[in-house]
Amino acid sequence: MNTILVTRSSMPDYEEYCEEIKDLWESHWLTNMGVKHQQLQTELEKLLDVPHVTLYTNGHLALENAIAAMNLPNGGEIITTPFTFASTTHAIVRNGLKPVFCDINAEDFTMDVTKIESLITDKTCAIVSVHVYGNICNVEEIDRIAKKYGLKVIYDAAHAFGVTYKGKSSASFGDASMFSFHATKVFNTIEGGAVCFSDDSLVQLLNDMKNFGIHGREEVAFIGGNAKMNEFQAAMGICNLRHLDEAISKRKLAVERYRSHLENVEEIQLSPIQKNVESNYAYFPVVFDEKKFGASRNEVMDELAENGIGARKYFYPLTNTFAAFHGQYDVSKTPVALYISKRVLTLPLYEDLTLDDVDRICQVIMKCKK
């Protein structure tokens, strides 16, 4: 019986990657925004249909820099979601800002826009919302609220690379959108990330932030850090971009197979097919309510593990319950997020996942039903 991991990195053929990096041995230019970096940046700007893409060594530093670039007041409040990876909340706090947690909606797990305005105070300066599992937030309503109250909007779009809403790239919403190109994502550069934006004035600022503020051999004009994507990462991205459509198509087949088994099982909840959204099929979350299904999320996960199948409690625990925040937040104020976090399980999904494996995963799940 073969082991099925929860995810598996997309990679080009070995020979293709070797050919892509061959000229690095000739140039010895391995970092500092070289030819590969510039090529990937240009290709991404075209693919994502945005004026500017700034590449980073990882998605977290991309998000930290995107928030920092908004020139928000120290100690200001940012409305965000606890139903996310640690990076989202940490990026806010590490910028000297305070997360104010908004609950999620129970349908697509994104921020509940009906709860945002009640959280706004005179200290609120921005909204950091998350496109969850590739599900797109209610960008129109967030934009309306932001304009009404004069707030900046940054999207954590780590899950949404290649997704479009009403024909527009997910990269085009808000004041900035961050993508993660981690090895586990639909598109990867081994590690990596990007900030996408349209404001021309942010180009130099974000470059300063990621490269020590160096403007020339003898001029350092800004107190920046080091978050540059290297040439080997960029080369992996260039290769993976060539195969992106194929990778998403294969993921789609797996998702459709999952749905054929599970979408008519009334006792579980699947992520919705969003209207006007072209998906990237990044994740396949299932919500197990023990009272309805007869088995808890943890019991299903354990049974899958017993059968050599990996699954992940993604996202659990909520970021507003982290020990790192020393009980600063009342989790009862985000009850939907708490409910989902205790019941959601993301099933294996990657481009090489076979339909036979999907069948096997679903068979194990249905054996848990009582």
Is residue 4 in some structural domain?
Answer: no
Instruction: Name the pTM for this structure.
Output: 0.97
272-276: which pairs have CB atoms within 8 A and are 24 or more residues apart?
272/107, 272/108, 272/135, 274/108, 274/135, 274/136, 274/165, 276/165, 276/166
Burial 278-305 (b: 16+ CB within 10 A, else e): bbbbbbbbbbbbbeebebbbeebbebbe
Identify whether the C-beta of residue 73 lies closer than 8 Å to the C-beta of residue 95.
Answer: no
* Count of structural domains, the chain: 2
Identify whether 359 is part of a domain.
yes
- pLDDT for res 269: 98
Instruction: Give the model confidence (pLDDT) of 33-70 as tens digits.
Output: 999 999 999 999 999 999 999 999 999 999 999 999 99
Q: Would you say residue 53 lies in a domain?
A: yes
Query: Are 276 and 212 in a shared domain?
Result: no
Residues 214 and 102 in one domain: yes
One domain, residues 173 and 266: no
Q: What is the pLDDT of residues 158-216, one digit of tens each?
A: 999 999 999 999 999 999 999 999 999 999 999 999 999 999 999 999 999 999 999 99
Report the C-alpha dihedral over residues 102, 107, 109, 112, rounded to 10 degrees. Answer: -20
Asked whether residue 19 is domain-assigned, the answer is yes
Same domain, 172 and 320: no
Q: Say if residue 317 is in the same domain as residue 339.
A: yes
Query: Which residues have CB under 8 Å from 49's CB, separation 6+?
Result: 168, 169, 171, 172
Is the same domain home to 49 and 182? Answer: yes
| 303 and 344 co-located in one domain | yes
Q: Is residue 7 domain-resident? A: no
Rounded to 10 degrees, what is the CA torsion of 129, 134, 138, 143?
Answer: 50
Supply the pLDDT for residue 326: 87
In a domain, 219, yes or no: yes
Residue type for position 95: N
What is the arithmetic mean of pLDDT over 266-282?
97
**45 and 83 share one domain:** yes
Domain co-membership, 183 together with 252:
no
My answer on whether 201 and 275 are in the same domain is: no
**What is the C-alpha to C-alpha distance for residues 259 and 281, in angstroms, rounded to an integer?**
12
Percent of the chain with pLDDT over 90: 99
Measured between alpha carbons, how far is 272 from 269 in angstroms, rounded to an integer? 9
In this prediction, residues 6-22 reach a mean pLDDT of 98
- pLDDT, tens only, 227-256: 999 999 999 999 999 999 999 999 999 999
Burial 329-353 (b: 16+ CB within 10 A, else e): bebebbebbbebbbbbbbbbbbbeb
Mark which of 242, 272, 300 sits at the end of a domain: 242
**pLDDT value of position 39:** 98
CATH code of the domain covering residue 265: 3.90.1150.10
Same domain flag for 132 and 179:
yes
**CATH number of the domain that 74 lies in?**
3.40.640.10
What pLDDT score does 1 carry? 72
Instruction: Mention every residue, 6+ apart, whose C-beta is less than 8 A from residue 152.
Output: 70, 72, 125, 126, 127, 146, 174, 175
Residues 296 and 355 in one domain: yes
* Residue at 121 is within a domain: yes
**pLDDT band, residue 113 (cuts 50/70/90):** very high
Q: Is pLDDT above 90 for 327?
A: no
Q: What is the pLDDT of residue 2?
A: 87
Domain ranges, residue 361: 245-368
Last residue of a domain, one of 242, 261, 292: 242
Question: Which of 187, 210, 242 is the C-terminal boundary of a domain?
Answer: 242
- 306 in a structural domain: yes
CB atoms within 10 A of CB 321: 17
